[in-house]
Structure 1
Amino acid sequence: MDPQSIHRRRWYILAVLTVCLLVVVLDNTILNVALKTIADPEQGLGATQSQLEWAINSYTLVFAGLLFTFGVLGDRIGRKRVLLAGLAVFGVASLLSSQAGTPDQLIWARALMGLGGAAIMPQTLSIITNVFEPQERARAISIWAGAVGMAVAIGPVTGGLLLAHFWWGSVFFVNVPVIVAGIALIALLVPESRNPEPGRFDPVGVLLSIVGLVALAYGIIRGGDTGDWIQARVLLPIAGGAAVLALFAWHEARTDHPAFDVRLFRDPRLSAAVASIALCFFAATGVFFFANFYLQSVRGLTPMQAGMMVLPFAVAQLAFAPRSAAMVRRFGAKAVCTTGLLLVTAALAGYQFVDEHSPLWVIGTVFFLQGSGMANVMPPATESVMSALPREKAGAGSAINNTARQVAVALGVAVLGSVVASVYRGDLGDRLAALPAGARETAAQSIEGAHAVADRLGPAGHDLIGPANAAFMHGMHAAAIAAAVVAFMASMLVLRWMPGRARKAADAASAETPERRETAQV
């Protein structure tokens, strides 16, 4: 394909890739809104709490475990080829999910969606890196990163609209026509690209990355589900996964054909940027996830109303993410990223002003502030990761970026969820002791469980609702404070280690040496 033709179509290519990315990220946030309906025996599948958790976790486990592998494969065999295959798998899995007749079928179909999503996400960023020149790449990556943040907010709104008019499976079926259109447009517009000199394949490194990431993600998910982080079924996979990843790093540093050269982490652009992304998403999305339960269970909003409440977050992403590249040019990545993390810290601290009777504009303001902060963290941090790598390694760099984010999200939901659950159960202890055994266990699991028990008990259960709401709010406040501390630590890390404007300019000037350029191939 003519390079000039690629240059003329680069913004159309970005638009198509961004839509494909939106579908993958949006799918998880849509599912969060649909969980209540799927649990309903009449309107949904009658899924238990454990089955609902694994409908989410089966996707996360496969997705996080295979992101790095598909990033490496895209660099070797062709990013467009892997992207098209991933879209096809994701589309078929979405159709199967929408038609699932049992919770187990949904869990397995979601795992297949995770496989497709892991193939899609690294390729979108690596293709953008290859079709845009350095002077425009930061702006393109800002739009890409903004799409990730927007999907977090758009998902609940879309899910609420679909559930208000269609059956529960529509939250998955909606992906199918978008995927079909995406495959056609990618086949037409997107050039093939790969590493022209991939060297020998590193099967040991790839296998170690899969085993390590899957084991680590499983342990994190298990700990979050049970709330008990010291049991063997949690500690062993976490410790084993960390050990395997350490072995992966040791192997990659010594082999002459690494799947990913871990010595690149000596570059502060890469190491500080990856750390900032991970810590930001750990803190922000961990609390953001539980805000949905606050809106629906404590405040009694419908899925549609709860989704609309998250729109300020999407507005902030839409307003600030595309402008972050200009801010970086003016003030430097360090200043922009640090400011963004401090805004996230302020937003998380702002949850202390949210209670059972707060005006809804207060939570809307918190969401807007949180979205503004994250819109100024993701784009400059992602650009720092990608600019630290040669173009031929774009897939591996994209995978590192996305893996750090995905593992951090799982860890944030699990760890902060344990904080919420621990405080909730502690505060509600006396009330739970007075309940029958079965009801006691259900009410102790979650705020939704307590409301369900109260409904079943009728007038006798009304005295449970107030204390349960208060206990949940106490747990949410405690988790938000912990998250704010993590976000503040991330801002200090960026302030200390991320290079400023002078270093950034020097690196940009040397980034396009002949050895680091890669032309698109058909």
Structure 2
Amino acid sequence: MVDTLAQPEHLSGSSVAALSKGRRIWLLVVACMGVALVISSMIALNTALSDIAVATSATQTQLTWVVDGYTLVLACLLLPAGAIGDRYGRRGALLIGLVIFSLASVAPLMFDSPTQIIVARAVAGAGAAFVMPATLSLLTAAYPKSERNKAVGIWAAVAGSATVIGFLGSGLLLHYWSWQSIFWAFAIAGAAMIALTCTVPSSRESDAAPLDWWGAGLIGAAVAVFVFGVIEAPARGWTDPGVLTCISAGLVLAVVFAFVELRRRFPLLDVRLFGRPDFATGAVGVTLLFFANFGFFFVVIQYIQLVMGYTPLRTAFAIAPLAVPLLVFGVLTPWYLPRMGLRLTVFSGLLILSAGLLCMQLLEVGSTYWDLTWPLLVMSTGIGLCTAPTTSAIMGAVPDEKQGVASAVNDATREIGAALGIAVAGSIFAAQYADALTSRLSAFPPEVRGPAADSPAEALAIAEELGPQGAQLADLTASAFLQAMDSSLFAIAAVVAVAAVFVAIWAPGRNGRQLRVVRRLSRR
């Protein structure tokens, strides 16, 4: 795991000047490609789940874990993996992660039972846990602070756009080939990234602290148990004893982790950082951005496919405009962030995002593509405005020797936010859809009511075979779907708006200070 390259290929945090501008740009390109690969892998298989179900006879629960197994393992290993990169070499960590990811992506091509695919995806998530923090910490180690915001902005924009890349790529592959082609693409892209990674310099801190294995174990267990409970919540219900136990245990383990870290000489993560306004703002901002983004995707992708009738490929192209504001604001971060300050930037971005989510409630059964696109652009403007600043706030608050851990915190908040967003949106949607449709199904046979109320996709499939009553069932399903979608998006918008108020009060402004009322309270 230790990088053994001689200088100047092996850089310490103080050796940023050893790289030419061209080599820094190339490092940025490789880092962006790496993070795009692992994030697009999170979302790409969603378009292939029906094909996988037919080919492998997977149950709905197994299909859920084909996607969530990757996310769960990725989330719980991020902090230890980031610390390993800081200690032993960030390029080495990146290479190890890519090798694991690539080999795990080949496995479903040879073993095709649902359980084997779930295990392979979990192993791929372990590889991704080494890749994500290494890509960002390599950048922050190689770029001087005067240029760091721009590099981080571009990285964050690509990371935020990678979900669109995943949808587009998988949609194109499924248009021409079978579901296995997605795994071929992962494996080939991973192999190519291994070759490209060998062309960039590494970095590690020569005086890095020893690894805190106790802390790594505690935080890994805390995130794993908490995220597992959140993932299971939509299916079992938030009041299910198992779900409540997992979420509570995760929170308790996180508190234990905090107490342990406060007493260690070389902690994995200095938890006092969360008391810093810039770090706390970054962590809250990133969590809420991915909470909103993935919760939105969960319901709106279904709307586009089930209500608007788009194919997976057309759906991918329909949401592609989301990436444009992200990329534009990512590049412009060094220009607007110093002028606006962290507080105004993130507050404005979250409010715009909340407004875009509320505008989505204007969608109807017969809405056109433009009716969908303009609220999507409002949303993505808000996301783009505060994606890079929140990431920069996290990275800037942490010493250079802990950049891998800082990057892992940034990535972990993304994964936790995404899991929470899907769980909350999914739970509200399922409850509201069932309530809205069940009361309208009295005229239909009993064998239709249960399946139709369970899933809008199943309801529409039944409607196609129902005969004269099919059109009525399809109309009722679409109406119930819109009612449930509106409830989900309103809840997400409300959470984001509350977070915007928190940022307005807590975040530092352009002068680096919080509002006066917060400063007075902190003195007391």
Shared fold (TM-score greater than 0.5)?
Answer: yes
Native 8 Å contact 2:80 2:216 kept in 1: yes
Unaligned runs of 5+ in 1: 505-522
CA contact (8 A) 1:345 1:487 kept: yes
In the TM superposition, what are the counterparts of 1:47-58 in structure 2 within 5 Å?
47-58=58-69
Match status 1:217 vs 2:227: yes
Matching of residues 174-189 of structure 1 within 5 Å = 174-189=185-200
Match of 1:68 in 2: 79
Q: CA deviation at 1:266?
A: 1.8
Give the whole-Å Cα distance in 2 for the aligned partners of 1:303 and 1:93.
Answer: 25
Range 50-59 or range 316-325, more displaced: 316-325
What is the match of residue 110 of structure 1? Answer: 121
Say if 1:232 and 1:324 are closer, same or farther in 2 by CA, change over 3 A.
Answer: same
Amino acid paired to 1:215: V
Cα deviations across residues 346-399 of structure 1 (Å, max 9, x unaligned)?
Answer: 110111111111111111112212111111111001101111011100011111
- Which of 9, 19, 22 does residue 6 from structure 1 map onto? 19
Greater mean alpha carbon deviation, residues 344-353 or residues 146-155: 146-155
1:164 aligns to 2:175 (yes or no): yes
Offset at residue 264 of structure 1 (A): 1.6
Residue 29 of structure 1 aligns to which amino acid in structure 2? I
What displacement does 1:439 show?
Answer: 4.9
Segment drifting more, 422-431 vs 442-451: 442-451
Aligned partner of 2:46 among 24, 32, 37: 32
Show the counterpart of 2:252: 243
1:185-224: CA deviations, max 9, x gaps?
Answer: 21122x2222322334322111111111110011001102
Deviations 1:245-303 (A, max 9, x none): 11001111122221111112221110111011112221232122211100111111111
Cα distance in 1 between the residues matched to 2:119 and 2:196: 29
* Equivalent in the alignment of 1:199: 209
Distance 2:146 2:274 in 1: 24
Task: Give the aligned length.
Answer: 499
Matches of 1:201 and 1:437 in 2, distance apart? Answer: 60
**TM-score, normalised with respect to structure 1:** 0.92
Equivalent residue for 1:93, pick from 104, 107, 112: 104
Instruction: Give the TM-score of the pair, scaled to structure 2.
Output: 0.91
Name the structure 2 match of 1:510: none
Deviations 1:215-244 (A, max 9, x none): 001100110223x11111110011011101
Q: Distance in 2 between matches of 1:436 and 1:209?
A: 51
- Larger mean Cα displacement after TM superposition, 303-312 or 331-340: 331-340
Q: Which moved further from structure 2: 424-433 or 56-65?
A: 424-433
The 3-state SS of whatever aligns with 2:239 is: coil
Percent identity over the alignment is: 35
Residue pairs, 1:356-367, within 5 angstroms: 356-367=365-376
Whole-angstrom distance in 2 between the partners of 1:206 and 1:86: 17
| 1:73-472 paired onto structure 2 within 5 Å | 73-189=84-200, 191-226=201-236, 228-431=237-440, 439-472=448-481
**What letter is aligned with 1:158?**
G
Distance change (3 Å), C-alpha of 1:200 and 1:20: closer
Q: What letter matches 1:393 in structure 2?
A: K
Deviation of 1:474 after TM superposition, in Å, equals 0.5
8 Å contact from structure 1 (residues 62, 115) kept in 2:
yes
Change (3 A) 1:438 1:90: farther
| 1:461 shift after superposition | 3.8
Q: Note the C-alpha offset of 1:311.
A: 1.2
Task: For 1:233 and 1:429, locate their aligned partners in 2 and report how far apart those are by CA, in whole Å.
Answer: 27
Shift of the 446–325 alpha-carbon distance from structure 1 to 2, 3 Å rule, reads farther
Give yes or no for contact 1:146–1:317 (8 Å, CA) kept in 2.
yes
Deviations, residues 325-360 of structure 1 (Å, cap 9, x unaligned)? 211022222222222111101110111111111111
- Indicate if the aligned counterparts of 2:83 and 2:211 stay in contact, CA closer than 8 A: no
Between the aligned partners of 2:502 and 2:239, the Cα distance in structure 1 is 29
Instruction: Give me the whole-angstrom Cα distance separating, in 1, the residues matched to 2:446 and 2:125.
Output: 37
**Partner of 1:519 in structure 2?**
none
- Which residue in the other structure is 1:508 paired with? none
CA shift, 1:7, in A, is 3.4
> Which one is further off, 166-175 or 408-417?
166-175
Letter in 2 for 1:121: M
Shift of 1:106: 1.6
- Determine the C-alpha separation between the residues in 1 that align with 2:377 and 2:108: 33
- Report the AA paired with residue 300 of structure 1: G
C-alpha distance in 2, partners of 1:97/1:500? 50
CA distance in 2, matches of 1:425, 1:183: 47
On the 8 A contact 1:128/1:140 being kept in 2, the answer is yes
Instruction: Indicate if the aligned counterparts of 2:299 and 2:425 stay in contact, CA closer than 8 A.
Output: no
| Inter-partner Cα distance in structure 1 for 2:223 and 2:467 | 46
Q: Partner of 1:161: helix, strand, or coil?
A: helix
- Aligned counterparts of 2:232 and 2:441: Cα–Cα separation in 1: 24
Give the counterpart letter for 1:450 in structure 2: A
Instruction: Name the aligned partner's letter for residue 340 of structure 2.
Output: F
Does the CA-based 8 Å contact 1:202-1:259 persist in structure 2?
yes
Task: Answer yes or no: is the 8 Å Cα contact 1:225–1:414 preserved in 2.
Answer: no
Letter in 1 for 2:283: V
Deviates more, 1:63-72 or 1:438-447: 438-447
Q: Aligned to 1:310, what secondary structure does the other structure show?
A: helix
Residues 200/157 of structure 1: CA separation in 2 closer, same or farther (3 Å cut) = closer
Structure 2, unpaired ranges of 5+: 1-6, 9-14, 514-524
1:100 and 1:449, CA in 2 relative to 1: closer, same or farther beyond 3 A? Answer: farther
CA contact (8 A) 2:438 2:449 kept: no
Which whole-Å CA distance do the structure 2 matches of 1:365 and 1:460 have between them? 35
Among 510, 514, 518, the alignment partner of 1:501 is: 510
Letter of the structure 2 residue corresponding to residue 61 of structure 1: L
Output the CA distance in 1 between the equivalents of 2:333 and 2:211.
Answer: 37
Q: Do the aligned partners of residues 112 and 458 (structure 1) sit closer, same or farther apart at CA in structure 2, a change above 3 Å counting?
A: farther
Alpha carbons of 1:434 and 1:46: their partners in 2 closer, same or farther (altered >3 Å)? farther
Q: Matched residues in 1 for 2:441 and 2:46: separation?
A: 27
Partners of 2:436 and 2:105 lie apart in 1 by 40
Would you say 1:16 and 2:30 are equivalent positions?
Answer: yes
